[in-house]
Amino acid sequence: MLNTLLSLSALPFIFTGGYSSYTSWSTSLNLLFFYITWSTLLFSHPPIKIELVGTLIIRILFFWLPAIIFLLFDSALPSLAANIKLQGKEGLGKKKGGEYAIERLKIVAWAGFNTILGIAVQGAVEYGFTKVLKRKSALRISSKLPLPGEILWDVSRGVLVREVLTYYLHRHLLHQSPAPTSTRSRIKSSLSPATRIPLLASLHLQWSHHLTAPLSFSAHSDHPICHLLTRILPLYLPAILFRFHLLTYFIFLALISLEEVITYSGYSIFHYSILGGATRRVDRHYQSCCTPSVRTLISRLSGRATAAVTGEEEKDAIDRIGNFGIWGALDWLHGTSVGRSEDEQLEQELADEREEVGDMVREVMEKVVEKRRGRSSVGVERRAGSMGSGASRRRERERERERD
Ligand SMILES: [Zn+2]
């Protein structure tokens, strides 16, 4: 079964089938081979098992493997990693040594738990559909292979629905504005904070935004409830809604897994890729949670500090958090984008460079002027000296004449 699922690498042939005369024979053979193995797999294993094991394999190949490589690179070569992090050294986190290792291990452990949880929920949904409701499976599991156009259409609308769900759930549930606490509770205790942070927002801030910069595993290390709401639901709901073919779902899942691991890597090397903008936006989302008021709030929620900022400051800081979507369109539409646009950034970089060059030129000019002044003053002194000696010589000569 594992071999057949791994032979999903033959899927790109579906896209190229019939378009290239050079590879048409090999493509047809690959497709035939793929069709036979896929049909055999369906015939010999329960569909739910194929769906769940396939999901696990895709997650391992397209999320876990790259995430582990990124994490090992960050840990083994921090100085090199800092060079390609969008936040530089800050992008590697503030903790060092044992504390750093424990923090990373916790994040990886929760990412593992959340991956299993997501697959378990998917299994429960399929079980509910087929065994409890006695209906067709949530995803279309058939031996008939999906056509390239169908795959493209399903993946496109899946990406669209996922973006809409991610944006609104992330913005309105995980970064919900705090409500002012009742005056009664404030009278009861002078330590009672001025605002009441909704439960999900509190969990998301403590679990995800205790880090000042994202790291590859951050996409899956949020609190399990937050993870189910903003990672699993936006991914699985469009697949059920449009009843994706299982193979289309695997392609969709592979693309989303890659997108998650890249956009949360915090690396600037993806600048010119299709995911460069999304990677920067995720990084800016984390940066928008780094204001002193939000940091104090996170400390207060984790029980490490009492409220040190006013309710208005806390609310204002939370309302300033932005970049909730992945592709940026909804943030732009709702005015929740944070950070500068690419053009503005480029302009700023050019202005900085111009200023730097100007400073260097000014420095050189000042040095030249200073040197010239130094020389001319020496010359004046010398001239003055020579003039002085000439005058004294003249005066001496006059005195000698008077004596004669
Ligand atoms: Zn967030």
pLDDT at 223: 95
Q: Is residue 382 part of a domain?
A: no
Same domain, 321 and 200: yes
Q: Is residue 398 part of a domain?
A: no
Domain boundary (319, 339, 359) is at 339
Q: Which of 215, 201, 199 is nearest to 107 (CA)?
A: 215
Exposed / middle / buried, residue 131 (Cβ in 10 Å: 0-12, 13-18, 19+): exposed
DSSP state of 178: P
- Using the mean position of ligand 1's atoms as its centre, give its distance from the Cα of residue 107 in Å: 16
Same domain, 240 and 290: yes
- Using the mean position of ligand 1's atoms as its centre, give its distance from the Cα of residue 338 in Å: 13
Per-residue pLDDT of the chain (404 residues; tens, 9 = 90+): 656 555 554 454 444 444 445 567 777 888 888 888 888 888 888 999 999 999 999 999 999 999 999 999 998 998 898 998 998 888 887 777 778 888 889 999 999 999 999 999 999 999 999 999 999 999 999 889 999 999 999 999 999 999 999 999 999 999 988 776 655 555 554 445 556 788 999 999 999 998 889 988 999 999 999 999 999 999 999 999 999 999 999 999 999 999 999 999 999 888 778 888 899 999 999 998 888 888 888 888 877 765 566 777 777 888 889 999 999 999 999 999 987 655 555 555 556 666 666 777 777 788 877 877 776 655 555 555 544 455 555 566 666 655 55
Same domain, 36 and 85: no
- Using the mean position of ligand 1's atoms as its centre, give its distance from the Cα of residue 300 in Å: 18
Domain hosting 358: range is 340-370
Same domain, 115 and 201: yes
- Using the mean position of ligand 1's atoms as its centre, give its distance from the Cα of residue 123 in Å: 27
pLDDT in tens, 101-151: 888 899 999 999 999 999 999 999 999 999 999 999 999 998 899 999 999
Tell me the C-alpha distance between 300 and 360, whole Å. 46
- How many domains are there within the chain? 3
- Using the mean position of ligand 1's atoms as its centre, give its distance from the Cα of residue 237 in Å: 21
Q: Take residue 61 and report the two structure tokens written for it.
A: 């190949």
- Please state the pTM of the whole predicted model: 0.76
- Using the mean position of ligand 1's atoms as its centre, give its distance from the Cα of residue 386 in Å: 78
Same domain, 157 and 300: yes
- Using the mean position of ligand 1's atoms as its centre, give its distance from the Cα of residue 289 in Å: 8
pLDDT at 62: 96
- Using the mean position of ligand 1's atoms as its centre, give its distance from the Cα of residue 207 in Å: 10
pLDDT at 229: 95
Same domain, 321 and 344: no
Q: Which of 348, 334, 73 is nearest to 216 (CA)?
A: 73
- Using the mean position of ligand 1's atoms as its centre, give its distance from the Cα of residue 205 in Å: 7
- Using the mean position of ligand 1's atoms as its centre, give its distance from the Cα of residue 208 in Å: 7
Same domain, 335 and 347: no
Q: Is residue 40 part of a domain?
A: yes
Same domain, 98 and 227: yes
Instruction: Supply φ then ψ for residue 245, to 5 degrees.
Output: -65, 145
Whether the CB-CB separation of 211 and 217 falls below 8 Å is answered with no
Same domain, 240 and 345: no
- Using the mean position of ligand 1's atoms as its centre, give its distance from the Cα of residue 262 in Å: 17
Element (H, E) at 211: none
What amino acid occupies position 281?
Answer: R
- Using the mean position of ligand 1's atoms as its centre, give its distance from the Cα of residue 376 in Å: 65
- Using the mean position of ligand 1's atoms as its centre, give its distance from the Cα of residue 404 in Å: 104
Q: Is residue 199 part of a domain?
A: yes
Tell me the C-alpha distance between 11 and 52, whole Å. 19
- Helices and strands in the chain, H and E counts: 18, 2
Query: Across-strand partners of 196?
Result: 179
Same domain, 280 and 223: yes
Same domain, 35 and 118: no
pLDDT in tens, 318-343: 888 999 999 999 999 999 998 765 55
- Using the mean position of ligand 1's atoms as its centre, give its distance from the Cα of residue 325 in Å: 10
